[in-house]
């Protein structure tokens, strides 16, 4: 029995060898015609070869797909990194641009009021809400700040110092209802008292009170400091008239003034340290 099996196995091996040799011959031959036997073998092996070829192509395509996905992911990561870098550059550019504009504006302001000395200060705190009606700066008595010193930005008047610590000060802005500043219309020089008021929708503006009854104040007029007050230099911008009202009972006019300073975005201010002369300084501060 073992001998029969061995003989069968030998026969199978021989047949496969012959088929393999014939197949090689068919592949390597450059003849235009093949024999009948080669044709039969080719017909038998061709479907197998086609199947194996398709299988190989599928495997190759799968590996190519995986490689392409990896390449796409690497390219996507690179593009995301470049995009983030560009965004950071844009933010840096906008920050530097805004800083340059603030500095340029302050230089222009200083050139128009070159007789005064300025101390730069950062805003470090404020009251509740979005408005800087009362806020804290990081300069105080140790840096030469005193109570009543006026505070400005390149946009115009901010307010005045009302409390001083060693290295901090509290500033009362012109939009606070306790603030009082003597102002004038730049077009007519009509004078009035500027006081902070609460407007509609939480907006805060100023009211210019006690204008003469015959004043020609109009919407769009510019308001500046009058210079009458010993605390504020003359002609510092305050704001623009956005509404006019007659007070027939007191024979005066009043106007609502929108400040030039944006009191929702205060970051840096300047304290004018020599606007008040020693002779004009309040007596209570000397005791």
* Span 184-192, average pLDDT: 96
pLDDT of the residue at 241: 97
Give yes or no for a contact between 19 and 40, defined as CB atoms under 8 angstroms apart.
no
With a cut of 90, say whether residue 243 has pLDDT above it. Answer: yes
Q: Give percent above pLDDT 90 in the chain.
A: 43
* Span 234-242, average pLDDT: 96
pLDDT of the residue at 101: 74
With a cut of 80, say whether residue 286 has pLDDT above it. Answer: no
Check residues 60 and 69 and name the one with the higher pLDDT.
69
pLDDT of the residue at 282: 73
pLDDT of the residue at 287: 39
**Lowest mean pLDDT: which of 26-30, 65-69, 101-105?**
26-30
> In CATH, which superfamily holds the domain spanning 118-285?
Rod shape-determining protein MreC, domain 2 (2.40.10.350)
> How many CA atoms does the CB half-sphere of 57 hold within 13 Å?
6
The mean predicted confidence, pLDDT, of the chain is 80
Per-residue pLDDT reduced to its tens digit, 65-97: 677 777 787 778 788 887 877 777 777 777 677
Task: Please report which residue ranges of the chain form alpha helices under DSSP H.
Answer: 2-28, 36-112
Q: How far apart are CA 207 and CA 151, in angstroms?
A: 19
The region, left, alpha or beta by phi > 0 then psi within -120 to 50, assigned to residue 131 is: beta
Check residues 116 and 277 and name the one with the higher pLDDT.
116
With a cut of 80, say whether residue 26 has pLDDT above it. Answer: no
For the chain, which residues make up each domain, given as ranges?
1-26+35-112, 118-285
* Span 155-167, average pLDDT: 95
Per-residue pLDDT reduced to its tens digit, 255-275: 999 999 999 888 899 999 998
With a cut of 70, say whether residue 239 has pLDDT above it. Answer: yes
């Amino acid at each position: 029995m073992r001998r029969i099996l061995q003989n069968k196995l030998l026969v199978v091996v021989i047949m496969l060898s012959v088929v393999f040799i014939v197949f090689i011959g068919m592949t390597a031959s450059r003849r235009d015609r093949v024999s009948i036997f080669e044709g039969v073998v080719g017909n038998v092996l061709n479907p197998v070869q086609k199947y194996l070829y398709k299988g190989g192509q599928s495997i190759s395509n799968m590996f190519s797909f995986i490689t392409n996905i990896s390449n796409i992911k690497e390219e996507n990561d690179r593009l995301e990194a470049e995009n983030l870098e560009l965004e950071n550059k844009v933010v840096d550019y906008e920050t530097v641009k805004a800083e340059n504009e603030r500095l340029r504006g302050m230089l222009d302001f200083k050139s128009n009021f070159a007789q005064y000395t300025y101390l730069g200060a950062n805003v470090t705190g404020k009251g509740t809400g979005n408005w800087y009606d009362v806020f804290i700066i990081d300069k105080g008595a140790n840096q030469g700040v005193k109570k009543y010193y006026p505070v400005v930005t390149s946009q115009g008047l901010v307010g005045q110092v009302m409390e001083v610590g060693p290295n901090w000060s509290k500033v009362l802005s012109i939009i606070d209802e306790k603030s009082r500043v003597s102002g004038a219309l730049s077009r007519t020089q009509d004078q009035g008292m500027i006081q902070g008021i609460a407007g509609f929708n939480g907006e805060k503006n100023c009211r210019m009170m006690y204008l003469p009854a015959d004043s020609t104040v109009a919407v769009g007029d510019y308001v500046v400091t009058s210079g009458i007050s010993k605390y504020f230099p003359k002609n510092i911008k305050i704001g623009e008239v956005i509404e006019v009202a007659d007070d027939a009972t007191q024979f005066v006019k009043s106007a609502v003034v929108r400040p030039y300073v944006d009191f929702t975005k205060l970051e840096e201010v300047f304290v004018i340290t020599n606007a008040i002369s020693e002779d004009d300084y309040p007596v209570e501060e000397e005791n």
